[in-house]
Amino acid sequence: MALLAEAAADSTPSAIISLLQISVATVVATILARALRGYVPDVVLLLGFGVLLGPHVLGTAGTAGGVELISQLGLGMLFLLAGYELDPRVLRGKSGPTAWVTWLISLALATLVVALAAPQVGFAAHVAVGIAMTSTALGTLLPILKQAGLLDSALGRAVLRHGAIGELGPILAMSVLLSSRNPVAAIVVLALFAIAAVLFAVVPRHLLDRVPDIRRLLIDMGGSTVQLPVRMVLLLLLTLMGIAEVFELDVVLGAFAAGMILRILVQDEDPLIESDMNTIGFGLLIPVFFVVSGMGIDPSAIAENPLRWLLFVLAIAVARGVPVWVTEKYFSHGTNLTSGRERAQLALYSATGLPIIVAVTEVATTAELIDQDVASILVAAGATTVLLFPLLARLLGPGATDKAAVG
């Protein structure tokens, strides 16, 4: 492997050659995931192929020549879809504030665990790793819940509730706590961004309601070679990501806000737009993002510190899963799960995190808060949660064997 990597390092692969290899990896990963009956999610396989193709192993694919840009668009599309899936109805009543309190407890617990485990590093590094450990991969869990027929159940709604906060909370925390500004200035900038996002939601919605011809125009120009609604979605995504970048916030926040705005504008009136977004996102952009993310994982760092990798997996389970289980059992919010089996499933689903972990480690390594070895192990731990925790949750459920076969 080392000789292959050294030989490949002598010649930088072109963007087309890199994208060709990434494309092959996305197809093979999908087929393998299907052959493995869903027990190994394709996200984990995509990361694995990224490790194989990346500079730490074969070194036959790179991120130069626009590949990194496609990856960033994939990251944006992933969080746009996550924001679009956020249904405000699941956060109504006491359950929404309870989910927020649960996440804050998780963040405090995770930060404390990291501080005790690595007191030699700075507080900012403790917070960065703590944020990563408290995320929930809602976008990754949605297909799993749909395949298992759980999306409209009490358990499914609970997963959506904690998953929404498990994505939105870390995104906001990244913008405030990992910013180069002081926290007060960061909150002010975040508020300004929120005002801009509200304007982007209210003004177009007002126009759509007052001028029906605009809606008819969008519908009429939604097919054939025009695809105006799709182009408008991409414009919205890039605009909010651009505003976030101007405000020196993470572009993930802009993408998530774009998804929430899109849900307000569409309001189930154009069922095809979600299908179009899934086609663009999961057909091209998002798989490229995960393969490119895998290229940054150094397997030697994991091999040299397998205990640290295992401890990260356990720490994520404790820091995120345990507070969810405790609040669901002991804090009444009107929609509590009554079954101990379902509470355990909810805790495992809520502790499943990867996309936010990738985003946080990118920000933290760029800011030199953590080194690449820690980032590699943390991302590998996140991939392990995606592989292991949903599987355990499905095995805990009734009829688990049949549901696993469907998956």
Long-range contacts of 219-228 (CB under 8 A, 24+ apart): 219/270, 222/270, 222/272, 227/276
- For residues 250 and 359, the answer to whether their CB atoms sit within 8 Å is yes
| 90, 91, 94, 98: CA torsion to nearest 10 | 110
| 385/407 Cα distance (integer angstroms) | 17
**Sequential DSSP letters for 175-207:** HHHSSSS-HHHHHHHHHHHHHHHHHHHHHHHHH
Question: What does each C-alpha distance from 405 to 31, 153, 274, 346 come to in angstroms?
Answer: 15, 20, 27, 21
Closest CA to 385 of 358, 356, 353: 353
Instruction: Report the amino acid identity of residue 71.
Output: S
pLDDT at residue number 271: 62
- For residues 13 and 360, the answer to whether their CB atoms sit within 8 Å is no
pLDDT at residue number 401: 39
Between vectors from CA 35 to CA 30 and to CA 39, what angle results, nearest 5°?
85
Between vectors from CA 384 to CA 160 and to CA 40, what angle results, nearest 5°?
80
The 3-state DSSP composition of the chain as helix, strand, coil percent (nearest 5) reads 75, 0, 25
| 338, 339, 345, 346: CA torsion to nearest 10 | 0
Task: Determine if the pTM surpasses 0.85.
Answer: no
The ranges assigned to domains in the chain are 83-131+139-283
For the chain, 407 residues long, give each residue's pLDDT as a single digit of tens.
Answer: 454 445 444 567 888 999 999 999 999 999 998 888 777 878 888 988 999 999 988 999 988 888 999 998 998 898 888 888 777 776 777 888 899 999 999 999 999 988 888 887 788 888 889 999 999 988 778 777 776 777 778 898 899 889 889 988 998 888 887 777 777 888 888 889 989 888 888 888 777 777 777 667 776 666 667 788 888 889 999 999 999 888 888 888 889 889 888 888 876 556 677 788 888 888 889 999 989 988 888 888 888 889 989 999 999 999 999 999 999 999 888 888 888 899 999 999 999 988 888 888 888 888 788 888 888 899 889 888 988 898 899 888 764 434 433 33
